[in-house]
Every structure is written in C-alpha cells, then in structure tokens.
Amino acid sequence: MAGDGDQVVLHDRFEIKPASRLSQFDQGPAQAFAAVDHEHVGRKLFALISPGTLPCRGLHLPERKGAALPMLWPEASGVVDWPVGNQGGTPVWGRRPALVYLQPAGERMLASDDQPLPRLTEQTIARNIIKPALQMLRELGHMRLAHRAIRPTNMFYVAGNSGEVMFGECFGSTPGADQPTVFETIENGMAQPMGRALGSQADDLYALGVLLLILHLGRNPLQGLGDEAIVAAKINFGSFSALAGGEKVSPTMAELLRGLLADKVSDRWTFRNLEMWMLGQYFNPVLPILPQRATRPIRFGGGEHMSKPAVANALAFHWDEAVPFVDSGALEAWLKRGFNDEKVGEPLALVRGLAYSYGPSNGAKHRTVSRMINFMGATFPVCYKNLRGNVTAFGTLLASVIDQPPLRTEFVELLRGRLGQGWLDHQPKLTIEEVQARRVLDALEKVIERPGPGYSVERALYELEPEMPCRSELIGDFYVTSLKDLLPAIDAALPGVEAGTMPVDRHIAAFIAARIGRPVERELAQLANINDQLAYRMGVLRLIAAVQRTHSHHDLPRLAEAMVAILEPVVESFHRLKAREEVKEKLGHLGARSDFVQMAELLDEEGSMRRIDISGFEEAQQNYASLETEAQWLEAGGLTHPAKIQASARFSSAITATFLASAILAAFAIFMAV
Amino acid sequence: MAVSNVSAQPKPRKKKGWVLPLLLLMPVALVLLPTTLVLIPALIPTLVARIVDPMPGRQLTITVGSLNLAGSLWFVHDLWSAGQSFSAIVPALSDMLGWLSALMGAGAGWSIFSLMPVLSRSMAHAKSNLRLARIRKAQEELVEQWGEPVRESAGLPRMQA
C-alpha cells in the first residue's frame, strides 16, 4: 500500500521506489524498480511491476518450502498502489501487480539476443546448466507450474560472469510471450506471443533443449530468420535437425537433444528421462517423425511446400494470398494428387460445410482457410486473418487486440465462426485446460452476438481469462481482477473523473456478468436501454447492488454520493411529491451507509412504495379528470342554464305557493273550528 | 350497426290525472253547493292562469290557484258564517274585502311566479360558483400532492411555473 508521500510498500515490509528504475531487470512489459526490505536492509532487491492490462500469475503462487531454487523466485508478491501517470506534476495513483526479487549476484548470461552466445562443452552444460535446470524443473513440477521463459537472456550466473547458472523470473509477464520463436515448440512458435498456451513442463523441456543446443554450438543456427521460416524449418526437418543446422554433436548430446526437441509431445523426453540421462543412463535416440511428403510440391507464399503442415504454416502467415488460393481449389487438388488420396474430398467438404455453417456469411472463405489450416495441422494454433493463438490463450490474445478495432473484429468473427470449437474437435485428446476452454467457448456463443453492455467482446475477454483485470476506462488503472475489489476501485476512481460519470461502463458490466456467478440479464437489459434513462440508471444501481450482495463493502462514500446524484431522476419519477421527499431522505440515509442493496429495493419498480405510488397516481388522475369534467359542466352553465333555471323557478313557485296556501288553509280550519 | 330503438319505445299516454280528483270532488261540490257557487267566481284568476299556462306541469296554475283559493276563504267564511245557504251567496259575493282577498291571493301567486326565476337564477349562480370553487380547490390539492402530471389525464397541459 502507498504509505506516506510517494512511498510504495508491499506487505508493510518491502518498499518499492518508483523513481529508481532498474531496467536491466525488466522482463518483457514488466518494468523493474529498486526495492528495499525493511527487515533485512542489506539485501539487494528489485521489484517487477507488471502491466495492469494482463493477468499476473505471480500473484497466486503456491507457498514454497525447502531448498533454494536456482531461479529468481518472488520474495513477495501483491498488488500495490503505484503512480500510473502524471497530471500537472502530480502523480496519478493506480494499482499494479508487484513481484519482489532478490537481485542475482552474477551477470546476465546474455544481455540481448544479438550478443554472441558462449560455447559450452558437454560437461559444462551438464554441470552448469542441466543440473540447476533439473532442480528448478523438479520444484516447479511439484507446484504444477511451467517456467515458460527459459532462454539465455533470462539466465544469470550464480556468481560473476561464468560457471553455474540460475534461471530468471517467469511470473512478471504472460507465459511464453517473451520467448523468441526459436525457443517455442512448433505449435506455440506459430502462435502470436500473446496467443501462446500457458504450457507445461514439456514446453520447458523443449526450451531447455533449444537452450542446450545453441549453447553447445555457441550460436543459434536459426538466428536472423523470421517466425514463419523458423517454424517452417522445424516442420520440414524436425526441431533438432533444423536447429543443429547440420553441425555434428556428440552421440550423448544428440541423444539428449533429440529427446528434448522431439516435436511430438508424447515422444519428448520427460523430467525423468533427463534426470536418468544425468545419472548416465542411455536411451534410444528419438527419431523425428516428419510429416508425410507429397509426391509434388505446391507453390504458395513465395515458396514450395511438400507437406500439409508446411502449407498450413504458410497459409497462416500469408492470409491475403491464402483466401483466393484455397478458394481456387488448387490446394484441394494438391491434397488429392500430391498424396494420392482421392478420399480427402470428403473431409474437405466437411471443412467447407462447417465453415459456411457458422459465423457471418461474408467471412465464410476466411473461415474455410482457418479450418483448412486446422485440418492440415491439427495441433497448430487457431489461425484467422491476423490472429494466431492457442484456444487456452484466447483470453490473453484478445487482451492484446481488444484496443485495436480491426483485430478485435477479427477476434469476434473467430468466435462467431466456432473456430475454437472446430480446433478442439480435431484434437485426439483434450487437456483439462482445453476441456475448460470448450465449456467457455460454448457459453460465449450465447453472449458474443449480443451487442449490449455486459455482452459482446468485453464479456468474452473476462470469460476467456478468469484472472483478466478489468479494462474499464474508469478503473483500468486499479488492476481489478476480482469482484471483491471492484466497488472499492470504483469508489477510489470517481474523484478523478468528471462529475456525472456513470460508475458502470461496458467493461465493468461485462466483468460483473462474467464473475458474479448468477444471472444478471435483467440488469444488463436495463443497462442497454440508454434511451430510457430511468431504466438505465436503475440498471447501474442493480448491478452495483448485485456486486455488493456478493461482496459486502459498506465504506464507499464517493460511489454512494455519485449514485445518489445519478438516481435523482429516478427519485423524481415518483409521482407523489411527498413520496419524493421521503425517498430522497431515505436514499440519503442509505447513501451514508453505502447500502446499494437497500437503495435498489427502495427504488424497485416492483417494490411496494413504487406500486402504491403508481396506483395512487392513477386514482388521482381519475379523480382529477372527473373533477375537471364536473367543473367544465358547471362552467358551461350546468346549473345556470336559463331553461333549467326557468323550470326550477316554476317548480319552486308552485311548491312555495302550495305551501303558503296549505298554511293559510290550516289556519282557516283552526279558526273555523274555534 | 346500431339500431335505433326510438320506434320501439311506447308512445306516452295522454295524462288523465285530473279525472279522478274531479270525480272525488264532485260529490263534495254537490254537497257544499253554495260554497262551490261562491268559489267559482272567486277562482276566475286561476281559470285565467290555467288558460295562459301552456307548460306541462301547470305550475303557474298551481301557484296562482293555491293562493287564489287561500284568498277566497274570506268568501267561504262569510258564507259559512251565514249558514251556508243559497241566500247567503249574494251577500257573501258582495263583500269587497272578500274580492280583495281572493284577488290579492291570486296576485300573490302571480308575483311569486314572476319573481321566482330571478331568485332561482341568483341561487343557481351562487351554488354553481361554490361548487366550482370546491372542485378547483380539490384539483389544486391533487396537483400539490401529485404534481403537474396529474393534470395530463384530463387532457390539460401542465401549468408553467
């Protein structure tokens, strides 16, 4: 929490200094700053401040006990108040995930990818690289974590600038996102950095294999190649051959590297294999399983391709050419003749049929290309126009494009076309993450088409990634990943925005809908009804009340004040003037307690107060109307019409005269009787 | 299609309400024949009123007739004081005060009938104004309680503040 002045303190112990940058420890988009441990002042620490727009897995690490890990492991982690901007010389405070690390004593192995790699012998590699790697992978394996950032630029010498190494941190940025393509498997290498899967230990072992190979060779044979070319080389020759580049390595190293660089996950060496290899056990070398070659090549994207995965890779990277190419039928013909497979027409017809069955009609050709890539390379990421990502990384992929309208539209088209589900249908076996992804994708189908707040692409963002921070303009700087932090964040953000700003926008609505775990369709429908300001404002209140029901916060004075002001038109909608005063007074009391639940009940359209008001008003209207009718009748001479007065006068005369005469007769009778 | 039911309504029967009282009065008139003979000339103003009263209900006739009858009691008193004989008819009818009384009664009837519309008009206006004031007050109370929109149901525009 921010303490006095500009101090940033984590867990009342680690002070992070925003003014002291330590850019040498930056990790991708996460920036490093100096940090001080107030309990052990002598320790040299640095803190990584992760971007506020992406989930940070370093915040939810399991507690680690036991021996020291040969990697940078957070001393502490949490969300801190952080200066996120500057307004007229005054810092604007937000919140950011912070990870505090001990500064490595040794130098970084490689400051940048351009620097020359050290050339290490087999023994040095085993002692200085594999040994700490085994230790780290064992510990991470126990915690079911993958490092996903194993590369020379993220490694440090334990001391000085040579000898045993330790691995860098891996929790400050998205898994695999900072990895150069060469360190990623074919599947993840083909995906965009933010579309790479969270991965498993198998991905770490692959990256370790690449690391060992290039350190053994002292160079990266694929250096300078683009992502497409690197992936194409790995597809065509197998990762080991592509990376070895024809250089000879010793049989024991070849055995190790072939095992670690097996492109098929089931053939890849496991931690156990590596451990046994270190103990001296020999294994049969894993031979690469290369894709089936066609009898003749196919020209596309400026190159000739001999296998289906190679063509799929080329299609993914040359989308504009791919659409007319697939549409022309040339690919289909090649698949039939090049592989002498006349039966391929049937699955291809299915691919086309599915592409035309789901999604908007104008994107059918694009979806056909996407499904063709999936057909030719089942494990490849889902590719659609400029997007390439693994289904389990759709959340981070969307987070990276949501602020770019063209790419965002492409992502929505991808979801509407059921391309993720199509990809999952092609997998022979699904992981737990993939099963969960299917469930989410199926659920998203119902909401992605709806344009209102709480639905559409914003909802997809939060459904696809449970830890995604809310990207609302209002609270985007507060790193809100959980519903319990939402209302305090809105309360904190309100003083910095214009008066009258609604505390719920599309992102907040979608965030609530995705996280609250109960239907909020009614609230969202009201929120979508912007033309009916009363319903809209009640929708805002109801959503906030729904959050408060789930996470009871009652110290939200600024939000309460804003809500009381926002609800003024709703109060004014009460017909009875006295009722308005009563409601206003009650609202004031509830505002003082930040009780939005009671506010929603008080102003509920179906509530007793509202019902009484409406029925009373209707009755009053009827009364007024009947009084008006009577008044108009009177004004039109209802009682004073001459004919009526004449008739009345005649009648009155007769009665008066009769009465008088009767009296005289009675008096006469009495007189005569006497 | 709406069917006019005017033709289905029975035609109003001609009123013959005067026949029964006349039949009942006939024996009395015969028994008290001297009195009847005195009252006939005394009630000539009523006869005139009946002739000039064209309105249904004959309120003019009733007004003039009732007070004319009351005024004619002077003759009746003279006649009955003289034993109600045929010989007392002429002396009774010769009494100037009797004629004065009968004609004044009739005149009072005429006066009431003539002045009553003026009185009725004043009363009706007063009553109408009073009722209108009460209605406006009730309406104002409704507006005070429910605001200007309550007027809209009556097809009235909201009053500008």
For residue B46, the tally of other CB atoms under 10 A from its CB is 26
- Is position A626 within any domain? no
- Is position A388 within any domain? no
pLDDT at B2 over 50: no
CB nearest B150 (choices: A624, A652, A657): A624
Listed in order, strand segments (DSSP E) in A129-238 are 155-157, 165-167
Which chain B residues touch A652 with a CB distance below 8 Å? Answer: 116, 119-120
- Return the C-alpha torsion angle A197, A200, A206, A208, nearest 10: 110
Which chain A residues touch B150 with a CB distance below 8 Å? Answer: 575, 617, 620-621, 624
Closest CA to A271 of A259, A255, A280: A259
> Rounded to whole angstroms, how far apart are CA atoms A77 and A490?
23
Q: Vertex A309, ends A307 and A314: CA angle to 5°? A: 95
Residues A145 and A282 reside in one and the same domain: yes
- Is position A393 within any domain? no
- Return the C-alpha torsion angle A564, A568, A573, A579, nearest 10: 60
Q: Tokens at residue A509, please?
A: 């609505």
- Is position A248 within any domain? yes
Average pLDDT per run of 10 along chain A, which is 674 residues long? 67 94 93 94 93 91 78 94 86 92 94 90 94 95 94 94 93 93 96 95 97 94 93 95 88 93 94 94 83 94 94 96 94 94 91 92 94 95 97 96 96 95 93 94 92 95 95 94 95 89 95 94 92 93 95 92 94 92 94 95 90 92 92 90 90 94 93 84
Report the SS3 class of residue A382: strand
Residue B82, CA distances (Å) to A173, A506, B79, B95 in order: 139, 114, 5, 13
Report the SS3 class of residue A283: coil
Residues A17 and A71 reside in one and the same domain: yes
- The residue-averaged pLDDT of B135-154 equals 88
- Is position A84 within any domain? yes
- Is position A338 within any domain? no
pTM of the model: 0.82
Residues A36 and A129 reside in one and the same domain: no
Interface of A with B in 600-639 (CB under 8 A): 616-617, 620-625, 627-631, 634-635, 638-639
Which residue reads 């013909």 in tokens?
A: A333
- Is position A429 within any domain? no
| B70·A672 Cβ contact <8 A | no
Residues A487 and A558 reside in one and the same domain: yes
Residue B62: its H or E element: helix B59-71
- pLDDT of the residue at B57: 84
Residue B5, CA distances (Å) to A197, B8, B10 in order: 88, 5, 10
Which chain B residues touch A574 with a CB distance below 8 Å? Answer: none
Number of separate domains in chain A: 4
| A625·B153 Cβ contact <8 A | yes
CB nearest B63 (choices: A622, A645, A653): A653
Residues A664 and A575 reside in one and the same domain: no
- pLDDT of the residue at A67: 67
CB nearest A672 (choices: B80, B142, B150): B80
Residues A183 and A248 reside in one and the same domain: yes
Which of A615, A639, A674 is the best mutation test for B, with the most CBs of B within 10 A? A639
Q: Is residue A447 within 8 Å of residue A460, measured between CB atoms?
A: yes
| B135·A623 Cβ contact <8 A | no
- The residue-averaged pLDDT of B102-112 equals 95
HSE value, Cβ hemisphere, 13 Å, CA-based, for A471: 25
Q: Which residue of A has its CA nearest to B152?
A: A621
Which of A615, A629, A645, A665 is the best mutation test for B, with the most CBs of B within 10 A? A645
CB nearest A634 (choices: B128, B152, B153): B128
| A620·B146 Cβ contact <8 A | yes
Residues A137 and A204 reside in one and the same domain: yes
Which chain A residues touch B57 with a CB distance below 8 Å? Answer: 650-651, 654
- pLDDT of the residue at B1: 36
| B69·A651 Cβ contact <8 A | no
| B120·A652 Cβ contact <8 A | yes
Residues A157 and A221 reside in one and the same domain: yes
Q: pLDDT for B42-72, tens place per residue?
A: 999 999 999 998 888 889 999 999 999 999 9
Give Cα A641 distance to the centre of its chain: 79
pLDDT at B5 over 60: no
The domain boundary residue, chosen from A250, A268, A290: A290
**A218-238 CB burial, b ≥16 within 10 A, e <16:** eebbbeebebbbbbbbbbbbb
Q: What does R_g of chain B's alpha carbons equal in angstroms?
A: 28
- Chains A & B: contacts with CB separation below 8 Å: 139
Which of B59, B69, B122, B140 is the best mutation test for A, with the most CBs of A within 10 A? B59
Which residue reads 């925005």 in tokens?
A: A497
| B153·A645 Cβ contact <8 A | no
Q: Tokens at residue A356, please?
A: 């035309």
3-state secondary structure A260-278: HCCCCCCCCCCHHHHHHHH
- Return the C-alpha torsion angle A115, A119, A122, A124, nearest 10: -80
Domain at A247, CATH number: 1.10.510.10
CB nearest B112 (choices: A629, A642, A656): A656
| A575·B67 Cβ contact <8 A | no
Q: Is residue A544 within 8 Å of residue A559, measured between CB atoms?
A: yes
Q: Tokens at residue A551, please?
A: 């996470």
Residues A144 and A65 reside in one and the same domain: no
Number of residues in chain A: 674
Q: How far is A666 from chain B (nearest CA, A)?
A: 10
- pLDDT of the residue at A326: 94
Q: Report ipTM for this prediction.
A: 0.81
- pLDDT of the residue at B10: 52
Residues A139 and A175 reside in one and the same domain: yes
- Is position A510 within any domain? no
What's chain B's average pLDDT? 85
Report the SS3 class of residue A175: coil
Which chain A residues touch B156 with a CB distance below 8 Å? Answer: 628
The domain boundary residue, chosen from A262, A290, A318: A290
Residues A146 and A281 reside in one and the same domain: yes
Residue A531 lies in domain: 482-500+516-615
Looking at residue A46, what DSSP letter applies? Answer: E
Residues A81 and A159 reside in one and the same domain: no
Which of A650, A659, A660, A670 is the best mutation test for B, with the most CBs of B within 10 A? A650
